[in-house]
Structure 1
Amino acid sequence: MIENETQTIRISLALVQVDGPPLDSGSWRLSDPFRIGRAASNELELPDPGVSRRHASVERANDGWIVRDCGSRQGIELNGLALAESATARLRAGDILRVGPWQFRIDALADEHGGPGSANAPTRISVVRAVGNLAEQRLELLLQYAGDIAAARDEAALAEILAEHALLGSGYARATVLWRREGDIIVCCQRPALSPRSQWQFNAALVASAGNGDLARLESDTPPSGGQASLQRKPRRAMCVPIMLDGRAEAFLYLDSERTSARRHADAPTFCHALARLAALALSNLHRLEREREHAAFTADLERARDVQKRLLPAAADVLGAVRYALHLHPGRVVGGDVVDVFEIDGGRVVAALGDVSGAGLGAGLVMASVQSFLRAGFAHDGDPVRVVSQLNAHLCAQTGDGRFVTLWLGVFEPSGAGCHFVDAGHGHALRIAAGSVQPLSPRGCIPLGIDAQAQFVAEPLLLGRGEMVLLYSDGVVEQRGADGAPWGTEGLSHSLASAAAPADAVALAWKALGEHAGVAPEDDATMLALAVC
C-alpha cells in the first residue's frame, strides 16, 4: 500500500503586461514588497507623468497577496474597479491590474523549493481563482458566476459578469461580449478594457460561423477579416460562443489571444459553453422581467384611462329636468368604447345619448371620449339634434380615417315631459317598455357616423306616457353568449324587463338576467340606459 504525501505549495505571483506602452520586460516575478511607480527605485518603473513616484505596492498578507494604493494621484483599478486612496485589495491569479496606461494580468508561479516534486526553475501554473486541480477551479468559478449573473439587473451588467469570468477561466488574454443590435454586431463589454489609443476588431467570419448556434474556434496567423484596423500583434487564437435565445444567437462571447504563449486550457470550450448557456438563461429572465414591467406599466395606463373615462360618465341614476334615468356600463377591456351620457341644456331640455364605437380597447375609448366631449360642446351652442349629429359626423370623418365608425342614438327630451325627438345613426338598439309590454322601437334610422361626411340625418318623434320607459343598450348586451354558446338576444333582454317599474328596476333586472345567462362578466363592452319622463 502506497501512502500519498501531501505537500502545501506556496504560490508566488507574476505580473504580465497585457496592454500599454512597451516596457523593458513583459513579465515580473513579484517580490515582497513589489513597488510600482515612476521613480527608478521601484521594482517596476512606469515612466508616465500620470503615474506617481510611489504609485502602488504588492505585498504578501497571511497566505495570499494584496495590492495597496500608495496615495497615488490617479489611483489604480483592479478588474475594472477603482481602489480608494491608500486602500488595499486581495490579489488572485487571473486578476487584471491597471496602473496609468498599462494593464497587467496576475499569473501564479510555484515557489522555488528543492523538495520532492519541485522543479529547479519556476513552473507556471494556470490558476483561476483557487489553487487546486482545474476541475475544482472550474466548479468554484461556475458557482460564483451563476450567482453573480442571476443577480444581474440589466444586459450591461450581465455582459460585464460574463466577460470577467470568461477571462478568469478560459486561458485567453481577452474576453469580449458582442451584442446583436438590429442586424449589426456591436461591442458591449471587453475585459481587459482597451486603452483609448488601442484598436481592436473581431473576426467577422468566426462570429458568422458561431451565429449558426455552434461554438467556433480559430487558430491563425492572419489578421481578422473586415473592420477598420487591427492591433500590432496579429491574433493567434480566437473562440466565439453564441448565446442562444429562442433558437437565435442574441449575443456572443468572443475570446482571443495575440500571443501563442498565452495560457491554454483544454476544457476552455466546454467551460465557455457553460458560461454562455447560463448567460442565455439569465438573459431570458431579464427579458421576462422587462415584459412584466412593460405589462405592469401598460396596465397602470389603462387603469388611469378607465378612471378618466369614469369621470366623464354621468351619475349612475338621477333626475334631470323632466327625465328620470339609470345606467350601467361594463367595459369589456378595461377601457370601454361605448358612449353614454345624460345632461341638461338650455330651456330645461335633457339630452340622452348611447352609442357604440367600432373596435375595442384604448383606441375605441379615445373615440368615445371625443364623441362625448363633442356632443356636450355642440349642444352648448346649438339645440338642434340633427345639426349637432351632422357636425359630429363630419368631425369623425375628418379625424378617424382608419375605418372606425360610431353608431349613436341621441334624443332631446322636452321640459314638459311629453316626449322627445331623436336621431338614430345606425344604432337600432332601443326598447319601449309600457304596462309590462316590451317592444323594439322601429325608427327610420340613418347610417353610422364617420362613414360619409355628406350623410343626411333626420329627427324622429318619441312620445312617452306616464309609467312608460325607453331602454337603450349596446350590442355587447344582446350578443353575450351563455354556457351553451347561444347569444342572449333581444328576446332574453325583453323578457327580463317585463316587470320593470322604473329606470333603476329595468337596469338592475336586465343586468342580473344577463349575468345568469352568461355566468361570467361580459367579454365585450355592455351598456344600458333606461329613461322615463317624470
Structure 2
Amino acid sequence: MLKLDDLTHLPQVEGLIAQIAAGGPGLVVVAGLDPRTAVLPRGEAGLLPSGRATIWRILMREMLDARPRQQALLVTGDPSQRLPRDLRRRVQFASWPPGKSHAEAIAEAAARGPDLLLVERLDASSAAAALHAAAGGLRVLTQVDTVFRGAEVARFLLDLGVSRELLSALTWVVAVERLPTLCSHCKVPAQPDPEELEGWCQSFSDFEPLLREGTYFREQGCARCRGTGREGEVTAFDIWHPDPGAGAVEEQPSGLPIAAYVLGLAARGALPPGDVQRLEAGRLRRTYRLLRASEQATLEAKVALERRLAELEAANRVLQQRTEALISLESIGQALIASTNLSELAGRLCRNASQLCGADRAILYFLRPESGSAEVLAVTGWDPSLVGMSLEAQSVFGSQVGNEPEPCSGFPPGVPRQPTDVTADALRAALRVPFVAEGQPVGLMIVHTSQKARFAPGEVALLRAFGNQAAMAIQRAGLTEALRDKVRQLEAAQAELVQKERLEREMELARQVQQSVLPRVFPLVPGYTFAARSEPARWVGGDFYDVILLDADRFGLVIGDVSDKGMAAALYMAQVHSLIRAEARRQRTAGAGSPPPPEEVLHTVHRLLQELGRSSKFITVFYGVVDTASRRLTYVRAGHDLPILLRAGEVHQLRGEGLPLGFPDMDELYLSQEAIDLQPGDRLVLYTDGLTDAISPDGRAFGRERLIAQLRARAGVATADLCDALFAELAAHQGTADQFDDMTMLAVEVH
C-alpha cells in the first residue's frame, strides 16, 4: 500500500499534510496535470503524469485516519471503480444517473451530511456545488486536472464563474508535479554560487539549514541514462493555505512554494538547482505540447472519420449504380427530346448506345465548327480524363462524313494506348456512328466491343436510328448551351459591375469609419509634442495608434498591428483599440486616482479577447504610460517591434519581452513591464513592421537600419515633418512595387 512517506522527501510536507488531515470544514483541492494516454503517452515530449490521483487517494486515507470513526461519501460517475481494500469499508459511493447533472449529485450527497465528501472531479459543472458544500460546514476533498498551482487555482475557480463569497470556502490546494531525477551513476557535484545560495536562503528561510548544508549536483550523461543525465522520477509539492484576513485569496502566496521544494530536493542531490529556473518555462512547454498532441489526436480522428465517410460514399455510389441498372429506362427518344444539357446528354448517349448494341466502350465527339475542332464530350469504358480533350476536326471526322454507321479498326482518335489497359487489346469490333442533323455533321460516336467479331445488322440499324435522334438532340443541346453561356457571361458581367460599385461604396465608408477611430488631433500635454502617420495597404488596415489622456499627470501611448490586412483586420483593430482605451482609463479601485499599469491593461484586454471568442488573428501592441511630472515611461511590449529612442544623437531601443494579444488557446499571457526616464530633447518613435518590411521593385526591404539612419539624419526636423519626410522616403523606396502591409508611425518629442 503506497503511503505519503513513499512520495515526500522533505519533512515540511508531512507537517502540512497533517494539518490538512486534521483540519475542519473547507474545500481541499489536489491539483496536477495527468494527460490521457490516448492523447499523449507517458513520457512523450518530456511530459510526466503528475500522480495527482495517487496523492488524492493518499490524502483521502490521511483524512480518514485522522478521524477513525468517520465515514466518507464519494460522488462519482463510475460506481464500478475499485478503491484500496482499507478504504472500501469507510467510503460509500454516490453516483448520478443519466439526466442528472454533476452539481445536482454533489448537492444531494452533501444533504446526507457525510463526515468527508469526496468529489472525484472538479470542473465548471461541479466547482460551485463543491464550494457550496464546503461553505455549509463539510470537509470536501476533490482533484482538478490542471497545470495551475496555489493561488492560480483560486483564480481558475473565479474564471469558472465561482463567486468570491464561495471562494472563501477554499482552504487548501496541494499541487503536485513529477520531475525527472538526476542519474545516480553520472551526476557530478556542482555547488551553487554563494550569492545565489544566499538569495535562496533569504527567499525560503524555512529551508535555510537544508540549503546551506546541502550537497548539489548537475547532470552529465552516461550510457545508463542514454546521455540525458536523468533517471527516475520524484514528486514535487506546492501547498497553499489562504489566510482569510490577509486580503484577496487569489493573490496570496503558497505556504510551501514548489520552488522551495525543488531547491530542497536539489540540496539532497535529487535534482539540479537549475530546475528551479526551468519550472515556469517547463510548465508552459508541457502545456503547449499537451495542446499540440490533443490537436494532433483530433486531426487524426478527423482524418479517420473522413476516410470512413469516403468509403461509405463510394459504397453508396456502387449501390446507386446497381439500383439504376435495375430500373427500366424511359423511352430513349423522349429522354433525348427532354434533355438540353450538353454534357448530361452526351453521357446519356454513350450509356444508351452501349446498352443498345452491347458495346464495352464508347466515346462521343462534338464538332465545334467555329474553332474547327472536335471535343470529347463523354466516354464509357475509356479513361474519364479524356472528357474535355480538344482535337482537330479533320483527324476525327475525315474529309467526308457519311450518314451511315461503318466499321473501323484501332483506337479512337486522341486515345493513347496505355500499358496498364490490358483489356483494350481484347477489343474485337468497332463501329463509327455519325450524328448528322439537317445535312450537317454535329458529332461522332465510336463504339467498341470485346464480346463479338462484328456488330449484327440489327444492331447497326438500331444505332442508325439512334444516331438520327441523337443528332437532333445534340444539335439543340449545343445551341441551348451556347445561349446559356452568353446569358451567364452577361449576368456575371452585370453582377461583377454591381458588386464592384457596392464594394467601393462599402470600402470608402469603412475607410472613413477607421479614420474616425484614429486621432486627428492629439491632446495638448505641456512638455510633449506628438505626430503620427498611417497608410493601410488596402482601403482599410489593421494598424492603429493613440495618445490617451489618463489623468492630469499621466498619458498613455499605444500602437498596434493586427496579423492580417483588409476589412477583417480593421474590425479586429477597432475592437482591440476600444478595449485598450476603456481599460487604460479605468480606475484601479473605487476612489483611487491612479490608472492601471500597462501590464495589467494588456492582460485584461487579452483575457477579454479570449472571452469574446476564439479568432485566427492576433495583434502586437506597445502600450506605455508617461508620468509628466517625473518624465518616467512605464511600458509593456506585447510582441511589437522595438521602439526607437533618439537621445543626444544616440539611438536606443526599448527592450522588453512579451507575446502578442489574442493568440488562440493561450489563456496566460507573458509580459515583462519595463520603465525608462525620458529627458528633454528625447524623441521616441513607435512604428509597425510595415515600415521596415516595405519592398522595393527589385525585392529589397527598407529595413530597420535604414529606418534608424533616416531618423538620425532628421534629428533636428519637427516631429510632424519627420513623419511626412519618412513616409516620402518610403514611397520613393517602394516605387512601383505594391504595398503589402499597413505602415504606421507615432513620434513623441520631449521638451
Q: What TM-score results when the alignment is normalised by the length of structure 2?
A: 0.36
Higher normalized strand content (fraction of residues)? 1
Looking at both structures, which has the greater relative contact order when contacts are Cα pairs under 8 Å and sequence separation is at least 6? 1
Higher normalized helix content (fraction of residues)? 2
Q: What TM-score results when the alignment is normalised by the length of structure 1?
A: 0.50
